[in-house]
Amino acid sequence: MVELTPQQRAVAAGAAGAGAAMALRIVAEAARLMGAPRLIPIASAHIDGALYHGDSGTLFAERLVADGAHVAVRATLNVGALSPAGCAAVRLPPHERDMAARMMRAYEAMGCEPSWTCAPYQAGHRPALGADVAWGESNAVVFCNSVLGARTNRYGDFLDIACAIAGVAPDYGLHRPENRIATMLMDATGLSPALRRSDVFYPVLGTIVGREAGAAVAVIEGLQGCTTEDRLKALGAAAASAGGVGLFHVAGVTPEAPDTDTALGHQPPRETLILTPQLLDEALARLSTVTGGERIDAVAIGSPHLSAAEVDALERLIAGRRLAIPLYANTGRHVLHPLEAQGRRAALEAAGVIFVVDTCVVVTPILPDIAGAVLMTNSGKFAHYAPGNTGYAVVYGSLGECVESAVAGRLIREPRAWS
């Protein structure tokens, strides 16, 4: 039984309007289903439910707007199905395009920030250590928990906006300190320092974390001095795609893991996994669905959305050359606008880069419809979802390999740190 405060009972009964009442009732029912004893205040929300998957989602959002619903806390928006900021063309049929646009407008009408990015933490939405929030979008959830040390569960579509309107969330799961303690130890100390300091390693590691940890909390030992925010972002995104991961710790790096023993709650791990080159090779192989051949029809990077630093790296690697095949660079308007002001967007587009802003190539039809097409990516998340969502086969590689392949118009491999 969920215990509501007198004020919450009043809101659920309609004291603050029909929209607020519906939102609170949804959150309270979710709490009952999850076995949460109460609702707790939240500091912010990140809304994944504004991505069009069908007319019902649009009609739900418009019903909330018609009933006067408005967010009670800061609420940023995940990617939508369209690209209001322009750039890449979206190939949605007219009805779906109209419903997607209506959905996006409805969420903005409820007071959500039009961030339209899967990486709100790069756009200034960074809740404080220990803050309870209600975030959707799996990579954002993992980053919020693991890198920022805020507390959220993986809130699904429509529950996320209900929490934002109500200003509360169910008190269960990763909101509770006892559920944030690691029970699994992953030991990377036996891997070469060069590999642990390479960007290409982290999506592969994330795939292992997702498959082996599932929904459990793991602490990784051996990455001290090797990580950056972008590497942790890539690790978390791959882990959340390959498994039910909502939180991981990196000993000596992430907020709740000053050391391995603290992350484990001063208890021995229930399971220990030694990371070996063989285990990495197996995970690396799973990120590609194509073996052999040099065909590449397109390159896509930026899942999660590219940071400014990652765009800088892309620019350095292209080095003024012309691409032979399109390279789709998925990012947010918070990154694109400075590029425009600096004249860099035009230069990159002249080289053959296609910016995808406010959305991405895996959640809405942007890639050309080509029989037997092959997509190359440096994203573990793209590698996981692209075959099913786009119909393209996938080849995984480093950012350098992606750029060299786009320049050459065929698959180019560079020597790898683990070869």
Write the pLDDT tens digit of every residue in 110-141. 999 999 999 999 999 999 999 999 999 999 99
Domains held by the chain: number? 3
Same domain, 119 and 29: yes
Is residue 415 one of the residues assigned to a domain?
A: no
What average pLDDT does range 174-192 have in this prediction? 98
pLDDT tens digit string along 44-77? 999 999 999 999 999 999 999 999 999 999 999 9
| Domain assignment present for 60 | yes
Kindly state whether residues 209 and 156 are assigned to the same domain: no
Tell me: the pLDDT tens digits for 13-25? 999 999 999 999 9
Q: What percentage of the chain exceeds 70 in pLDDT?
A: 99
Say what the pLDDT of residue 417 is.
61
Does a structural domain hold residue 92? yes
Q: Do 46 and 137 meet the contact criterion of CB atoms below 8 Å apart? A: yes
Query: Which residue range(s) make up the domain with 403?
Result: 298-408
The DSSP result for 340-359, as a single string, is HHTTHHHHHHHHTEEEEESS
278 and 306 within one domain: no
Rounded distance, CA 236 to CA 288, Å? 19
Same domain membership, residue 228 and residue 145: no
Query: Across residues 18-34, what is the average pLDDT?
Result: 98
In this structure, are 32 and 142 located in the same domain?
A: yes
The answer to whether residues 270 and 305 belong to one domain is: no
Query: pTM value?
Result: 0.96
One domain, residues 316 and 349: yes
Alpha carbons 18 and 23: distance in angstroms, whole number: 9
Task: Provide mean pLDDT across the span 394-414.
Answer: 97
**31's tokens:** 């709490």
- Domain of 357: which CATH number? 3.30.499.10
Cα–Cα–Cα angle for 255, 73, 15, rounded to 5 degrees: 140
Band of residue 35 on the pLDDT scale cut at 50, 70, 90: very high
Average pLDDT rounded to a whole number, residues 288-317: 96
Q: How confident is the model at residue 419 (pLDDT cuts 50, 70, 90)?
A: low
Amino acid (one-letter) located at 339: L
Q: Of the candidates 146, 176, 206, which is a domain's last residue?
A: 176
Mean pLDDT of all residues in 228-239:
98
Residues 52 and 124 in one domain: yes
